[in-house]
Chain A
Amino acid sequence: MSSTAAAATIDHHHDPSTATGIPNKKLLMWAFLASDCMFFGCLISTHLIYRLHPPPGVPAARDVFSIELTSFSTFILLMSSLMMALAVNAIQKGNLKSLRACLATTILFGAIFLGCQVYEFSHFVSEKHLTITSNILGTTFYTLTGTHGLHVLIGVIWLASMLAYSFTGRLTEKDSIDVESMGLYWHFVDIVWIVIFTVVYLLEYL
């Protein structure tokens, strides 16, 4: 593990100091995401099972959901993924200014998504009288989307910390792997939402 990273250009897809050529942090993040697939897989299964076999008296989810709001937050999260990808691109070129702009936009979009979710939840509770304890739909819906929301919140905090860190002068092109692994996490949160959007929301409208 000698630090021979003094080459003129940095190869962001290959790390010669590791046996596989994949940087340690990237490998760690991909292994973690594989694990997180199982995590969300079990949570989504729980929701699906209870939606397929609901007890009597559970309201139809389509009467509760608001497709307009959810579509908007889906779009926002997709755009935040784009900005994250651009942020990684920026740091790999050593462009700190562009990195900060992209990160700030990603944070903003993530915060908007969270805001939509807070609004959605409070709307469901106050207008539709669906609470986490009222029935099995409330239980699985709030737990699943809430756990995803918690992932987004952690992502936003991570992004904000990285943005603040970029002002210390210690974040350079060499540290792009830190931004890249954060990006992997963020994109993963996005793809989980892609699944949730279809499975939890859209299928209810058929």
Chain B
Amino acid sequence: MTHAAAPSGHALEQSKFELFVEIAMLLAVITGIEIITVYLPFAKGLLVGALVAASVVKFLFVIFIFMHLRWDKAFCTVLFFIGLILAGGTMWALVQLFGAAASVPLSSP
């Protein structure tokens, strides 16, 4: 990532505007790359990995910069990640459960 390392204190308040705009542009660029990615002739697993990675990067930028987690008390991050991790774990488990050989519906192609 090439954006300027965020300064602290008063300088921060001055540069927040530029930082927000920079981040927004970065997010737009990543989104553009994502859209191009789906048409690239690489292995499917690789592309899925790339798309997931890109989404995670966007996700983290929004919560840490736009949603101020980076400047707030660490507990806000902890609180949100409790929900995020449990939700992610549940999603993973559900998808795995339905993917197990014994669970796949017989009608599924």
Q: Which residues of A are interface residues toward B (Cβ below 8 A)?
A: 13-14, 20-22, 26-27, 30-31, 33-38, 40-42, 44-45, 48-49, 52-56, 67, 71, 74-75, 78-79, 81-82, 84-86, 88-89, 93, 180, 183-184, 187-188, 190-191, 194-195, 197-198, 202-203, 205-206
| B67 x A49 contact (CB < 8 A) | no
B6 contacts partner chain A, Cβ-Cβ < 8 Å: no
Q: Residues of A contacting B44 with CB < 8 Å?
A: 206
Cβ distance B103 to chain A, nearest Cβ, rounded Å: 9
A-B contact count (CB 8 A): 145
Interface string of B53-79 (1 = CB under 8 A from A): 011001100110111100111011001
Most buried by A among B21, B59, B65, B87: B87
Most buried by A among B23, B66, B68, B80: B66
| A34 x B67 contact (CB < 8 A) | no
Q: Residues of B contacting A49 with CB < 8 Å?
A: 94-95, 98
| B48 x A203 contact (CB < 8 A) | yes
Cβ distance A55 to chain B, nearest Cβ, rounded Å: 5
Cβ distance B98 to chain A, nearest Cβ, rounded Å: 5
| B35 x A202 contact (CB < 8 A) | yes
| A75 x B55 contact (CB < 8 A) | no
Cβ distance A43 to chain B, nearest Cβ, rounded Å: 10
Q: Which of A52, A67, A198, A202 contacts B95 (CB 8 A)?
A: A52
